[in-house]
Amino acid sequence: MSGPRRVAVLGSTGSIGTQALDVVRAAPDRLRVSALGAMRSVRLLAEQAAQVRPEAVAIGEERLARELEGLVPRGTEVLAGPGALEELAGSGAADVVLNAVVGFAGLPVTVAALRAGRRLALANKESLVAGAPVVQAARKTPGAEIVPVDSEHCAIHQCIGATSSARAGDGRPLPPPSVRRLVVTASGGPFRGRTRRELASVTVEEALAHPTWKMGPKITIDSSTLMNKGLEVIEAHELFGVELDRVEVVVHPQSVVHSMVEWRDGATVAQLSLPDMRLPIGYALSWPERLDVPFGTIDWSKLSRLEFSMPDLETFSCLRLAYDAGRAGGCAPAWLNAANEVAVAAFLEGRIGWLAIADVVAEVLEEIEQTTLLEVDDVLAADAAARRSAEKAVGRRDGP
Ligand SMILES: NC(=O)c1ccc[n+]([C@@H]2O[C@H](COP(=O)([O-])OP(=O)(O)OC[C@H]3O[C@@H](n4cnc5c(N)ncnc54)[C@H](OP(=O)(O)O)[C@@H]3O)[C@@H](O)[C@H]2O)c1
């Protein structure tokens, strides 16, 4: 690599974004932040800009533009408004775009980075799940590539890359036909082993108390319902081109084995490290090279066991619903994602109980109007229709 790689961190004020800045700080000879973006955390964004001195910053809420201009170092370009992060993603401001925006709102960043022929370090799984046909088309742009940040997909990327020499045109490792299945691990979240009855009255605080990962609120709730794993199954299918039914989930509470690839000859290759997102972030930013800075190194004198079990699809029905939506294809994953985002927001606001998250998603999936997703506008329309349906489903049961 000649000179540090220029990185745009979009969603810089969140859990992944702030850890990405740690990674860049730890490897200044390899990485440099050239752009930052967030939605509304204007003070934190300005603090970050003062520390890393990017060329440009973007804030999604237009009314905060003036305040941000007054806070960032002189000479920093400020972009503001609903299209600001997307504009940065598609500009020449960076060699690598890290999409650390939460939820469906990350779709424009994903598409803009790929259409501009950039490396996309993808944390925002929702954009790939909901907009797969559009994202896959954008991925064919010369120079465009996705390197996954999600720890499971990063693990699979490493397992395939380490074991097979098959490469796509853009250099990414390709799963050859000798892959029998991808095994995605799940911590099981805070409610692993509980029954539906026990889960009827869980609180927001309990659902936010993840046993192994410290993450933003939306993905933490998704981890408690196993919808996060469902989205990841679809994400793995889209990223690696392995059929959905050859992507399996296994519960592994220690979160040390981040996922596995099983080959037809019976061998299973796994990637292990302690749960620390800075490792996959650093991997995605620097691939095909690796950083010299260790994150998540295992102390074998302390790690005494690794356990595995099958997920309980009756209690954690969001995982089953995600498989259903993935098999249905078309716009079903977009409906699944939108319904889930509405239901999770309603749960966090205390409007519905935890069990109702899956019920809302199930009801919305019954109402899918299949449409073809060719353009971003088609995905936005499917998302909007699903949200309307989900709001009605929430409204029918307002009150936890
Ligand atoms: N956290 C993890 O360990 C982890 C692991 C694997 C994958 N992921 C994925 O990474 C993504 C980010 O997760 P997170 O946990 O880091 O989320 P988070 O802590 O909630 O941070 C979200 C970031 O997105 C920005 N944002 C929120 N709404 C936005 C909008 N409408 N438009 C543009 N930016 C917006 C926020 O800016 P403000 O602060 O200004 O609101 C913040 O910078 C998610 O897709 C998640 O599934 C996260």
Position in ligand 1 atom list of the atom nearest CA 127: 45
DSSP 184-232: EEE---TTTT--HHHHTT--HHHHT--SS----HHHHHHHHHTHHHHHH
Q: Are residues 14 and 92 in the same domain?
A: yes
Is 358 within the bounds of a domain? no
Is 389 within the bounds of a domain? no
Is 122 within the bounds of a domain? yes
Per-residue confidence (pLDDT) for residue 211, from 0 to 100: 87
Per run of 10 residues, the mean pLDDT along the chain (length 400 residues) is 89 98 98 98 98 98 98 98 98 95 98 98 98 97 96 96 70 74 96 94 95 92 98 97 96 97 94 98 96 96 96 97 97 98 98 98 96 97 98 86
Q: Are residues 167 and 298 in the same domain?
A: yes
Is 48 within the bounds of a domain? yes
DSSP 130-184: HTHHHHHHHHTSTT-EEEE-SHHHHHHHHHHHHH---B-TTS-B---TTEEEEEE
CA nearest ligand 1 atom 43, residue: 11
Domain total of the chain: 2
Among the candidates 117, 148, 179, a domain finishes at 148
Q: Are residues 22 and 76 in the same domain?
A: yes
Count each helix (H run) and each strand (E run) in the chain, helices first.
Answer: 17, 11
Per-residue confidence (pLDDT) for residue 262, from 0 to 100: 96
Is 370 within the bounds of a domain? no
Q: Are residues 179 and 279 in the same domain?
A: yes
For residue 312, give both structure tokens: 């309980």
Per-residue confidence (pLDDT) for residue 400, from 0 to 100: 55
Is 364 within the bounds of a domain? no
Position in ligand 1 atom list of the atom nearest CA 231: 47
Pocket of ligand 1 (CB under 6 A): 11-17, 38-41, 60, 85, 100-102, 105, 123-126, 150, 213, 215-216, 218-219, 277
Q: Are residues 137 and 37 in the same domain?
A: yes
Q: What is the CATH number of the domain that holds 86?
A: 3.40.50.720
Per-residue confidence (pLDDT) for residue 212, from 0 to 100: 86
Specify the 3-state DSSP secondary structure of 37.
strand
Among the candidates 88, 122, 148, a domain finishes at 148
The parent domain of residue 244 ranges over 151-188+226-311
CA angle 353/359/363 to nearest 5° reads 140
Q: Are residues 127 and 272 in the same domain?
A: no
Per-residue confidence (pLDDT) for residue 182, from 0 to 100: 97
Among the candidates 120, 148, 176, a domain finishes at 148
Q: Are residues 74 and 88 in the same domain?
A: yes
Ligand 1 centroid to 102 CA: how many Å?
A: 3
Q: Are residues 50 and 142 in the same domain?
A: yes
Q: Are residues 72 and 175 in the same domain?
A: no
Q: Are residues 165 and 136 in the same domain?
A: no
Is 276 within the bounds of a domain? yes
Q: Are residues 30 and 50 in the same domain?
A: yes
Q: Are residues 142 and 156 in the same domain?
A: no
